[in-house]
Amino acid sequence: MNDFLRVAILGTGQVGESRSESTGTRIDPLVDALALPERERAFLLRAGALALATRASGATLRDVARPTPSGEDDLRRPSDRLASSIASVLRRPSDELTLDLLANLAAARLRLPDDVLPIALAEKRASVRARIRPVLGARGLWLAAVRPEWGWALGQDPEASLSPEELGARWDDASAADRLVLLRRARAIDPDLARRLVASSWKQEKAEQRLAWLDAITATLVRDDAPFLVEALGDRSAQVRVAAARMLWQFADSEAASRVRALAESSFARSGAGGVLGRLRSMVGAEKLELEVTLPPEKFDPDWEKVGLVEAAPHGTGRRQWWLTQIMSAVPPDHWLTRFGTTADAIVSAVLVHEFASALLDGLATATVRFGGPSWVRPLYDACARGTTGSSTTDPAGSLAALLAPDDVDVRLRAALRVGELRAIQRFPRPWPREASREFLAGLGTYDPLRSSALRIAALAIPADLLPDSVPDPEVPENDYRAPHYLRELDEFRFIASVRRAVAQESAP
């Protein structure tokens, strides 16, 4: 700070006369020539002239280096029109359209337009970031280096090809989040290495991290994992013990699987005539299957925890029915086809009329998703979709819908669309079958308030090449309180459709 400014800050009344009140420039003699009687007035005129001189001389900095510019992009730049749509979508609160758009841009090898890169890089959620990263392009990665908080875009790529040696070397010093990334990578290239890495740090890690590791390998279980999982049954955390036991259900010859199967067989049996003749009769439909379902005992057996059962039931579910659901979910559903000698349709029909239908269907549906069982998907979906299965946090029909054959989806989706059954409509996988999509689009010309809530879902689910260029407003009855909502949703349909169509058009070679 120069003396002149120091005097101004402290005040001429506070500093002695000897303190410098000159600027040390050619301004001083000019002001002195005015011979002003007041010290402060002369000071202010000097300050004014100094300000003028400062502004006129310019605040130029010299010899400033330029950064290396961003390189050529492998990804194509979208047209100005699509760029404008992308900007609109990214400036909205992030929603399904954002995720859909980002995925479609990546598939079309298009990149984000330059002017929305700052918005994209400011994204905080990991799920959205994962979709943003592939469409940043060279420009986006260049920009990410500008701000430390954008460094996530330059961070370690989960798909990076690290060698087993590199993985092992990084493991010890890696953070909890990075270890998860390393574990997934190790799992993909060498399951044995992954187990060794986990075992090396298992006891030192928190239960939360141990659970995350189990979750990371659950989709790619191999038989060699069994000894490690058996060891985890003795973990100090109950949650880890249960998770390990449930993973062991995948191995039919494991103790956990055998014991839970035995529990299931004692709870779920066919009543009446059994034997070969009975089986034959029920297979040809000559005998209706009747079930004998026994709820587990009143008291939770502590040993059950070791086979993967959780004692505390979700809110609103009876404890014993909850245990029954878990037991049923632990056994591959095809086991019952062999055991009862009948079809999935017959078993589901029998379950439906039983007083514990809800608990049994939940269990069978979860088992079907967990172990597979193609013949179970349709009857279980229909049973779950019409009933009151699931809890506030689970929707068995939702999980099953993803496994339905396309023709089965088509029929059920069309039925749900006709009556505006929103929960069902939301369950079906995307894109929707073409016939169901066409039927929905054909109905857009007519005002139908039952469709209001389906419009946004449809705009995202209908194959992009079927989406129309324009959708006229239908005739709306006067005084219908639902009409404004319908027209708003129709506008949203138009917007989403226009964005998806634009991406589809530009993705064409």
Which of 177, 473, 480, 485 touches other proteins (CB under 8 A)?
473
Interface with other proteins includes 59 (CB under 8 A)? yes
Interface with other proteins includes 441 (CB under 8 A)? no
Which of 3, 28, 76, 87 touches other proteins (CB under 8 A)?
87
Which of 24, 48, 227, 314 touches other proteins (CB under 8 A)?
48
Chain-centre distance of CA 480, in angstroms? Answer: 38
Q: How far is the CB of 80 from other proteins (least distance, A)?
A: 8
Interface with other proteins includes 62 (CB under 8 A)? yes
Interface with other proteins includes 68 (CB under 8 A)? yes
CA dist., res. 4 & res. 300, Å (int): 85
Q: State which residue, 58 or 275, has the beta carbon closest to other proteins.
A: 58
Q: State which residue, 61 or 286, has the beta carbon closest to other proteins.
A: 61
Interface with other proteins includes 19 (CB under 8 A)? no
Q: State which residue, 146 or 353, has the beta carbon closest to other proteins.
A: 146
Which of 10, 130, 280, 353 touches other proteins (CB under 8 A)?
10
Interface with other proteins includes 143 (CB under 8 A)? yes
CA dist., res. 268 & res. 291, Å (int): 7
CA dist., res. 111 & res. 105, Å (int): 7
Which of 26, 29, 33, 61 touches other proteins (CB under 8 A)?
61
Q: How far is the CB of 446 from other proteins (least distance, A)?
A: 15
**23: Cβ contacts below 8 Å, ≥ 6 apart:** 4, 46, 49, 50
By CB under 8 A, the residues from 300 to 339 that bind other proteins are: none
Chain-centre distance of CA 452, in angstroms? Answer: 25
Which of 22, 84, 237, 453 touches other proteins (CB under 8 A)?
84
Which DSSP string corresponds to 8-58? HHH-TTTS-TTS----SSTHHHHHHTT--S-HHHHHHHHHHHHHHHHHHH-
Which of 97, 108, 123, 142 touches other proteins (CB under 8 A)?
142
Q: How far is the CB of 444 from other proteins (least distance, A)?
A: 11
Q: State which residue, 108 or 116, has the beta carbon closest to other proteins.
A: 116
**What's the start-to-end Cα distance of the chain, in Å?**
63
Which of 18, 35, 55, 284 touches other proteins (CB under 8 A)?
55
Whether the CB-CB separation of 186 and 194 falls below 8 Å is answered with yes
Chain-centre distance of CA 267, in angstroms? Answer: 37
Interface with other proteins includes 41 (CB under 8 A)? yes
Burial 163-184 (b: 16+ CB within 10 A, else e): ebeebbebbeebeeeebbbbbb
Ramachandran assignment for 164, one of left (phi > 0), alpha (psi -120 to 50 degrees), beta (any other): alpha
Q: How far is the CB of 19 from other proteins (least distance, A)?
A: 12
Q: State which residue, 25 or 338, has the beta carbon closest to other proteins.
A: 25
Q: State which residue, 46 or 306, has the beta carbon closest to other proteins.
A: 46
**Beta-bridge mates of residue 270:** 291
State the number of binding residues for other proteins (CB under 8 A): 61
Interface with other proteins includes 147 (CB under 8 A)? yes
Identify the helix (H) or strand (E) that includes residue 348. Answer: helix 344-352
Interface with other proteins includes 13 (CB under 8 A)? yes
Interface with other proteins includes 91 (CB under 8 A)? yes
Q: Side chain identity at 38, as an amino acid letter? A: E
Which range in 271-279, 345-353, 415-423, 488-496 contacts other proteins by CB under 8 A? 488-496
Interface with other proteins includes 124 (CB under 8 A)? no
**11: Cβ contacts below 8 Å, ≥ 6 apart:** none
Q: State which residue, 202 or 495, has the beta carbon closest to other proteins.
A: 495
Which range in 137-145, 327-335, 349-357, 363-371 contacts other proteins by CB under 8 A? 137-145
Token pair, residue 197, equals 């890495």
CA dist., res. 237 & res. 227, Å (int): 18
Interface with other proteins includes 58 (CB under 8 A)? yes
**373: Cβ contacts below 8 Å, ≥ 6 apart:** 332, 333, 334, 344, 367
Interface with other proteins includes 80 (CB under 8 A)? yes
Interface with other proteins includes 393 (CB under 8 A)? no
Interface with other proteins includes 33 (CB under 8 A)? no
Interface with other proteins includes 51 (CB under 8 A)? yes
Which DSSP string corresponds to 217-278? HHTT--GGGHHHHHHHTT-S-HHHHHHHHHHHTTSTTSHHHHHHHHHHHHHEEE-S--HHHH
**167: Cβ contacts below 8 Å, ≥ 6 apart:** 182, 185, 186, 189, 193, 197
SS3 (DSSP) at 111: coil
Q: State which residue, 152 or 495, has the beta carbon closest to other proteins.
A: 495
Which range in 126-134, 138-146, 244-252, 366-374 contacts other proteins by CB under 8 A? 138-146
Q: How far is the CB of 129 from other proteins (least distance, A)?
A: 17
Which of 18, 60, 393, 479 touches other proteins (CB under 8 A)?
60
Whether the CB-CB separation of 495 and 98 falls below 8 Å is answered with no
Interface with other proteins includes 459 (CB under 8 A)? no
Length of the chain: 509
Binding site for other proteins (CB under 8 A): 5, 8-14, 38, 40-41, 43-52, 54-70, 80, 84, 87-88, 90-91, 114-118, 139, 142-143, 146-147, 470-473, 491, 494-495
